[in-house]
Structures are given as C-alpha cells and as structure tokens.
Amino acid sequence: MTVPRSWSFLVVEGTRQYGGNDGYNDSPTETYRYDSDVANHLQVAKGDLAIIRTRNHVKGVAVIEQIIPGEGQKERLRCPICSATNIKRRAKLQPAWRCKNQHVFDEPERQQDTVSTYEAHYANTFRSGGASLSLDDLHRAVIRPSDQMSIKEIDLSRLEKAFMAVPSLRPLLIGYAKRLSPEPECNSADEGVGTIIEARRIVLREIAIRRGQVQFRNRLVARYGVRCQISGCAFPGLLEAAHIKPYARSSDNSVRNGLLLRSDLHTLFDLGFLLINPDTLKVTIDVRLRECGYDDFHDAGLFVNGTTGPDRNTLRDRWQFFEGTTPEK
C-alpha cells in the first residue's frame, strides 16, 4: 500500500507575481496547478490529503483524485542587471522593480522556459469548512516550515481536533487514517498518542515488530482456550493477543477489549481487512483477500468458548470506523 501524505497548498486569488513568475491559474475548489520549479512537486500523489489555503484563510480540504502531468512554457522574470529571479514589484517607488541583490530597474527581462507541469484534481472530494482551521494551527502542523514553499507537508494529527469538530471534514480525516499503512519510520515530529492518526501509526508500527503483552495474552487464553477465535488454530506460537480498541488510545488490557487470533489474522484485523460484526459476531473478510486463502473465514462465527465474548460497543466502534473499507459482498 502507498502511504498517504497531507499537504498545505497555497493559492493566491486574483493577480499575483511571485518569485520571478506570473503564477498559476488556480481553481481552488477543483484544481491546483504547479510545476517542476515548486518544492515537493514530485512528492504529491493521488490519495494524498490537501488543505487549500490563501495567505489570509483556509478555503477547504480535499483528497487528490488525479494528478495530470504535462509540459509547458513558463515566463520567468529576471533582473536585467544580475539575472536574479527573486524580484519584486514596488507599489509606490520608482524604478518599479527591485531584485534580491538590491538592483532597481523599470522593467524585468522576460524569459520563456520549458517546465514540467502538474494539475492536482480534487473537485469531487473538496469540502469547505476550513474556517475551523486557523492559519496559525496550519503553520504549527507543517513538518518542515519554510515561508518560500507553496506546497508544504503537514502532520495531520496536529489538526485532528479541528477536523473532528466539523462534520464535513471528519470523514476526510478518518479516511486518511484508514489509508495509512506500515512504514519503517513515522514522518511525524510529534510523539504524542492522543489522536486517531498517531494511534493508528503506532498500531501499524506494532504490526512490523509484534511484541505480545504476556499478561493480556494469558487472560485471553484463560477465557477462550489455546485456539484462534476465527481459524481454530491451536498452535501456541502463532496465537497473538489483539486489541479491539488500540491500547495506545485506551490503555485497556481487559479481556473485553481483546481477541485471541492467529498472527496473520491479527495483522489483517489491525489493518481493517478483517472485521467482526458487533451484532452477529460473524467475520467479514475484505473481498480482495477472498482468493488468497481466507475465503473460508468470511461469514464464520467468532468462537467465544461459552462466554459473552468481547465488548460489543468496542466492536461497533471499530466496525463503524472501517465501514466501507471491507466489502461484505
């Protein structure tokens, strides 16, 4: 799976001139245009989340549906004295232009360069509601701040409170968390675990370096016996204690928050490819796994060994979180 990233896209409404070029023809609620001169231009990808902002406010949030590459001509404005492209028009002073080297001049040199162009399209996923996101909050979420970058990578977990407070934005954040996948290192500079995204990252890292919690596992074995509650596997070395609600968010090691699963089923459960219906206690397997040796487990009943089984409300929270990720048919 591709690990999604999140970005801040700067759009400038109206006429703009910046960095020695005339800018881009943005349609902020539909399309963001940029080229190979822009930092991070090769990092932005389909499925990434973008926060669209101006210099004064946040316009909205979207998930990138498609990126269309191309090639085009870009008019670059240069200082006629030193050829610098870092030039600015002066509103009230004459000569009207000045470069970073303090040369002043009436008109810049105009040069046509060939550049790679990109269009990020997101019209179908764009959501307003950005008023809940302040520019100060957005700035604090930037991973590598730079005033000179129009595309900045952000740590979305730092904005979770604002996203969750707005009904139109909440599904975008939850969808982003669903699409996270295991990675060797986490991009976040914040080690906090109080958010959905940070908790999800921790769960995913745990998949790669599975460390069973002995007492938690022993309690589950005492409740359900030495067998996987889905496959029936009775080999102790393959059985793992799975948290229904991630321990990073709940600190709950009770048997009501646990399942005893074969190691591969534990991984699929953590990733949301395997779900348990909270009402029927039947297993749902992602349709993409049905031909990979897991078809027999779909619609199987969860073994509870004569007990009441796991907490239904906790299962329901997980079912609702991953709803739509694991098709039932």
Question: Which of 76-80, 235-239, 251-255, 293-297 shows the lowest mean pLDDT across its residues?
Answer: 251-255
Name the residue with tokens 């991630």.
Answer: 246
Q: How far apart are CA 25 and CA 128, in angstroms?
A: 20
Residue-level pLDDT at 279? 94
Average pLDDT over residues 283-312: 91
State which amino acid sits at residue 185.
E
Residue 218 has pLDDT above 50, yes or no: yes
Closest Cα partner for 246 from 265, 228, 208, 272? 272
- Cα radius of gyration (the chain): 26
**pLDDT confidence tier of residue 106, bands split at 50, 70 and 90:** very high
Question: Which of 6-10, 75-79, 81-85, 202-206 shows the lowest mean pLDDT across its residues?
Answer: 202-206
Domain boundaries, the chain: 6-67+120-200, 210-321
Q: How far apart are CA 315 and CA 269, in angstroms?
A: 11
**pLDDT confidence tier of residue 26, bands split at 50, 70 and 90:** low
Q: How far apart are CA 24 and CA 74, in angstroms?
A: 10
CA–centroid distance for 294 within its chain: 28
